[in-house]
Amino acid sequence: KATRADIIETLHNRGYVEGERMAVTNLGFEILNILDSQCPVVISTDLTRQLESRMAKIQEKNESRQEVLTEVTRILKPVLETLKQNENSIGHQLAAVLEEKRFEERTVGPCPVCKSGNLIINYSRKTGKRFIGCTNYFKGVCNTSFSLPQKGIVRPSGRKCPDCGMPTVETRIGRRKWILCFNPQCPSKERRQPK
């Protein structure tokens, strides 16, 4: 019980769950599916229940610690051997899931120009600066791009600008946070210009 808070914090920090009610994220489901296909024993609720029951018996002095450890070793040793044998396959599957998650975290919204690509937060290898660009740029279809602030943390906000309807980003510098429309033609930018 003492480790449950740590486990919950780890699940949140790794992006497997979100919110106060702990809703499983897409990443969490993907990881669960990979583990279920490769080693279902590890994610078995029956095994967890059985181990918790036996640990409670150890605490009550109704079962010896050595017996439980021997039994757990007997159950988990073949699982670990299977994991070791399938290490490359599991690694490739997990890497693909994580890459997809990183792409989702950088996706701001659909491209308003080509309509078939997505706007994502990118970093220029040449200048080291970050910007928003269309995913169809590399296909030679669309070269839509927008500049971004170069300081602080920038991530998709999931909201649209109330003035122009473009997707927005959340910008955070220290404790200050604001929603930023990156569209240079947004009517809100004209209102802020001194006359």
Q: By the 8 A CB rule, do 11 and 22 touch?
A: yes
Q: How many angstroms separate the CA atoms of 13 and 94, rounded?
A: 17
Residue 186 has pLDDT above 70, yes or no: yes
Which residue(s) pair with 132 in the sheet? 121, 146
pTM over 0.85: no
Pairing relation of β-strands 118-123 and 145-147? unpaired
Separation in Å, CA 110 to CA 77, 79, 122, 159, 189: 48, 43, 15, 12, 21
Residue % of the chain over a pLDDT of 70: 96
DSSP E strand boundaries for the chain: 17-18, 23-24, 107-110, 118-123, 130-134, 145-147, 153-160, 167-173, 176-181
| Pair of tokens at residue 33 | 């599916």
Q: What is the mean pLDDT of the chain?
A: 86
| Pair of tokens at residue 162 | 């109330």
pLDDT digits (tens, 9 = 90+) for 119-154: 999 888 888 899 999 999 888 889 999 989 888 888
Contacts of 26 (CB under 8 A, 6+ apart): 101, 104
Residue 190 has pLDDT above 80, yes or no: no
Q: Mean per-residue pLDDT for 48-52?
A: 86
